[in-house]
Amino acid sequence: MLWYLGRRLLQVIPVFLGATLLLYALVFLRPGDPVAGLGGERGLPEAVQEQIRQQYNLDQPFIVQYLLFLKGVFTLDFGVDFRGRDIMDVIAQALPVTFQLAIMALVIEAVFGIGFGLIAGMRKGGIFDGTVLVISLLVISVPTFVIGFVLQFVMGVKLGWFPVTVGRDPNFYSLLLPAIVLAATSFAYVLRLTRTSVTENLSADYVRTARAKGLRRSQVTGRHVLRNSLIPVVTFLGADLGNLMGGAIVTEGIFNIQGVGGTLYQSIIRGENITVVSLTTVLVIVYILANLLVDLLYAALDPRIRYA
C-alpha cells in the first residue's frame, strides 16, 4: 500500500505541472494585448501601460512568466488583478461558497441516487425500476441549465418556495435549490451505477452463501450487497466533486451565486487573464486531489488494485 501511495503521489507532479502550463499557455498566448484595452476609449499613457506590463511580468518571455506564476501558486500569492483586488482575497471569498454548494449537491446525489438505485436494483424489472430508469434517462438528457431555469421559474418565481437568486450572503436554504439543480445529472448517473452494480452483486456467489446460511434479508442487503456495490459508486462520487466545482459555472450564473464559477465567468468576459488562470488552477488542484483521493480510496477498498 505504501509503495502504491508513493507511486501515485509521484504521478501527481507531472500532471499538475502539465495541466497548469497548458491552461497558462491557453490564456496568455492568446492574440491581443490585455493591457492596451484597459483605459477605455482614450487608452492609457504609454508609460502607465509599460508599468502595468512590468507589474504583471508581461514583458518577460512566456516560460519565465509561467515560472513566476508557479512560484505564486506555491507561496499562495497570486498578486492583484487589474482592478487592484488581491486575487487571494477573491479566491478566499468565492471558494467556500462553491465548496458548500458542491458538497450539498454531492450529499443530495449520494443519498437519493444510492437509495433509489438500491431499490430499483433489488427489484429489477419491476414498475419502480422501469419508472426510475426512464426518469434517470430524461434527467440526463435535459441539460443542467434548462433544469435550472425551469426549477427557478416554477419553485422560485411561481410557487415562491425558494429564493429566486442567492446574491451576496448565501445560506443553506438559499443554496438548496441550486444544489438540487447541480446534483440532478450526477444523481441520475449514481442511480444507474448503483442499480447495475446491485443487480450484478445480487447474483454473486457470496450473496447466495449469505442467504443459504440463514442471514436475515436486511443483513444480506446491507452487509453484502450494498457494501460491495458501493465501490464503483464511491469512485464516481469522488471524481464528481471536482466536476461539480468546475461545472458550477452554469448553475452559479443562473442563480447569481458569487462563487468560483460566477467569478471565473466574469473574469473571462472582462479579459482578466491573471484571475482566470488563478481560479482555473485552483479548480484543477481540487480536481487532481479529488481523483487522487478516489484512487487511494479504491485501493483501500479493493486490494486487487494495489498489486496491479
Partner 1 sequence: MPENRFETVPGGRRPRPGQEHFAAEVDEGGLGAVDAVKSDEAPSSLWRDAWREMRRRPMFWVAGVIILLVVTVAAFPQLFTDVHPRFECELPKSLAGPEPGHPFGFDRQGCDIYARTIYGARASVLVGVMSTVMVVVLGTIMGAIAGYYGGWSDAILSRITDIFFAIPLVLAAIVIMSITTNRTSFTVALVLASFGWTSIARITRGTVLSVKNNEFVTAARSLGMGRGRILLKHVLPNSAAPIIVYATVALGTFIVAEATLSFLGIGLPPSTVSWGGDISQAQASIRQAPEILFYPAAGLALTVLGFLMMGDVVRDALDPKARKR
Handedness of CA 191, 194, 198, 199 (dihedral sign): positive
Note whether 144 binds partner 1 by CB under 8 A.
Answer: yes
Cβ–Cβ < 8 Å for 70, 21: no
Cell matching residue 45: 499613457
For residue 298 the three cell numbers come to 479504491
* Cβ-based nearer residue to partner 1, 48 or 138: 138
Is residue 98 at the binding interface for partner 1, with CB under 8 A as the rule?
A: no
Which of residues 25 and 215 has its CB atom nearest to partner 1 in the complex? 25
| Cα 96 from Cα 258, distance rounded (Å) | 10
The rounded distance, in Å, linking the Cα atoms of 22 and 141 is 31
> Given the complex with partner 1, which of 159 and 269 has the nearer CB atom?
269
Residues of span 257-286 touching partner 1 by CB under 8 A: 264-265, 268-269, 276, 280, 283-284
CA angle 263, 26, 36 (to 5 degrees): 75
In the complex with partner 1, the residue whose CB is nearer, 107 or 135, is 135
Residue 287 corresponds to which cell in the numbers above? 480536481
Instruction: Name the segment binding partner 1 (CB under 8 A); options: 18-26, 45-53, 66-74, 222-230.
Output: 18-26
92 binds partner 1 (CB under 8 A): no
Sign (positive/negative) of CA torsion 208, 213, 215, 219? negative
Residue 107 interacts with partner 1 (CB under 8 A): yes or no: no
Dihedral sign for Cα atoms in the order 35, 39, 44, 48:
negative
Contact criterion met (CB below 8 Å) for 26 and 13: no
Residue with Cβ nearer partner 1 (68 or 146)? 146
**Residue among 3, 14, 172, 213 that touches partner 1 (CB under 8 A):** 14
Please list every residue from 161 through 220 that binds partner 1, using CB under 8 A. Answer: 199, 203
Tell me which residue of 278, 292, 306, 293 sits closest to 90, measured CA to CA. 278
Shortest Å, Cβ 169 to partner 1? 25
Separation of first and last alpha carbons in the chain? 11
Range in contact with partner 1 (rule: CB under 8 A) among 83-91, 112-120, 218-226, 287-295: 287-295
Instruction: Point out which residues bind partner 1 (CB under 8 A).
Output: 11, 14-16, 18-19, 22-23, 26-27, 30-31, 137-138, 140-146, 149-150, 153, 157, 199, 203, 242-243, 246-247, 249-250, 253, 264-265, 268-269, 276, 280, 283-284, 287-288, 291
